[in-house]
Amino acid sequence: MNNFYITTPIYYVNDQPHIGHAYTSVACDVLARFKRLSGNNVKFLTGTDEHGQKVEKSADAAGVAPQTFVDGVSQSFRNLTALMNISNDDFIRTTEPRHIKSAQALWKKMQDNGHIYLGAYSGWYSVRDEAYYQESELVNGLAPTGAAVEWVEEPSYFFNLSKWQDKLLEFYEQNQNFIAPESRRNEIISFVKGGLKDLSISRTTFSWGIPVPGQEGQKDKHIMYVWLDALANYLSALGYPDKNSQDYIDFWQNSYSMHMVGKDIIRFHTVYWPAFLMAAELPLPKRIFAHGWWTIEGEKMSKSLGNAIAPASLVEEFGLDQTRWFLMREVPFGNDGNFSRDRMIAVINSELANNIGNLVQRTLSMVAKNCGGKVPDANGVDKDEIDMSFLYKIYVTEDNTPKDIDKKYMGCKFNDIMADIVAISSEANNYIDNKAPWKQKKIDERLMNATLYHLLEGIRCIAIMIQPFIPASSSKILNLLSIPIDKRGFGYLSSDHALLPGTALPPPEPVFPRFAEKGV
């Protein structure tokens, strides 16, 4: 399937963007960039979730109208995409007319199919989580997330979630990769097997939200439950309910669609969302991947501690690509991670500056000095075992795909992929030391030329492979090698697309400066 649809969760606008938001966005961006570089037709969506009681309260506290409040915070998330060099194709807001139309159409379809009924809700509700909880889920009177809950009694429309229990379990069984990682899959299956109750999907005690359709003449106006509203964004960005929309056809009916979410909202995406879609007789996404949370220097990130890290501060101090690299490199995706300033400096210096950056600088400087600033010629020089071993490691061939690239990307094995790239760069640095081109020059200049050519090829392949993670820096390296824009895809990772001897190269420039504390 050549179409690929990747989405971040839409970010809730009761607060400013922090490192957790940047983490999710960069992860989706890495996948989107990889898929584009692999020849896929990609749609990458992000956006903001702007309705609900929590937003209404935040706006009241700020002394502004809800729309004014969400306009400001939503813009800060747009700014985040620019700051982190996120290549999203669309940015959806739940206050947009296209989204309101889509969410109401989804409601109407479920209602027409007999899956929504009017009743009354009484139970525990968390404003912070915008979630309902059963008595058995409370821990010391709080939601499982630690949020305060309040007892709510009001008229409500219900979705017959209880009737979808067996269908959901059957779907999970038939689609083993729908929920990832495995620990989250087991958690959700256990939750569904424990029994599902019908879900309250409207509120009447506040007004900041999408009106339930068909309420003409009713006294109490119902507002759609914020999660039904929010989840519909994945469809509204594709033109739903217009099923003739090209985006809907390409990216919902005929694509590999993947939602990336934090582990705290996995239930909404893997229980409620597929049930809503089944009820509306719509296709389901192919995969929901839940990542972990970040702690900050070993402490839980929280407003009370005031330890949330603004992505802009990291980019300003360490650099954009350095920040992107660390976020994807530090922890296996799906696990919880810890942000440590000392660790970030160590990773930046050891992997980017001392390893990849050093390789590029050493090689290009030698080429500029000894080869007239042009790609040298390796023809006519026999390859020894060291050459053959090195070249085998850098090229993608039928029996050497470093190391099942697509499978690792789709499994969100970003940490492993980056480790493979760093290992190849380390091999290249060892190759320089083993071949010692400065010594070869004294023996036979052709030997030196061959070694430098092989090193340039290694750098070319490394630069192509790092593009999803650090696009600006990889582009700089590829420019230094005079690689045309249309020859930078993953399909060019073979000797068939090797550098052309005699190609003029621009003067070398440092790519990854070593980070040093000020005053050190």
Radius of gyration of the CA atoms of the chain, in A: 26
Cis omega (within 30 of 0) on the bond before 241? yes
Nearest residue to 18 via CA among 295, 207, 218, 353: 295
Look up the pTM and report it. Answer: 0.93
3-state helix, strand, coil in the chain (%, to 5): 50, 15, 35
**CA–CA distances in Å: residue 63 to residues 51, 68, 130:** 17, 10, 22
The tens place of each residue's pLDDT in the chain, 520 residues long, gives: 599 999 999 999 877 898 989 999 999 999 999 999 999 999 999 999 999 988 998 899 999 999 999 999 999 999 999 999 999 999 999 999 999 999 999 999 999 999 999 998 888 988 888 888 888 889 989 998 888 999 988 889 999 999 999 999 999 999 999 999 999 999 999 999 999 999 999 999 888 999 999 887 677 789 999 999 999 999 999 999 999 999 999 999 999 999 999 999 999 999 999 999 999 999 999 999 999 888 787 777 665 566 678 899 999 999 999 999 999 998 888 888 888 899 999 999 999 999 999 999 999 999 999 999 999 999 989 999 999 999 988 887 655 555 478 889 999 999 999 999 999 999 999 999 999 999 999 999 999 999 999 999 999 999 999 999 999 999 999 999 999 999 999 999 999 999 999 999 999 999 999 998 775 4
3-291 and 341-497 in the same fold:
no
Alpha-carbon distance 459 to 498, whole Å?
11
What single-letter DSSP state applies at residue 492?
G
What homologous superfamily does CATH list for 3-291?
A: HUPs (3.40.50.620)
pLDDT number for residue 301: 63
CATH: 3.40.50.1010, 1.10.730.10, 3.30.70.1450, 3.40.50.150. Which one for 341-497?
1.10.730.10
What is residue 290's predicted lDDT score, i.e. its pLDDT? 95
Domain boundaries, given as residue ranges, for the chain: 3-291, 341-497
Exposure letters 133-155 (e unless 16+ CB within 10 A, then b): beeeeeeeeebeeeeebeebeeb
Measured distance CA(68)–CA(62) in Å, rounded: 10
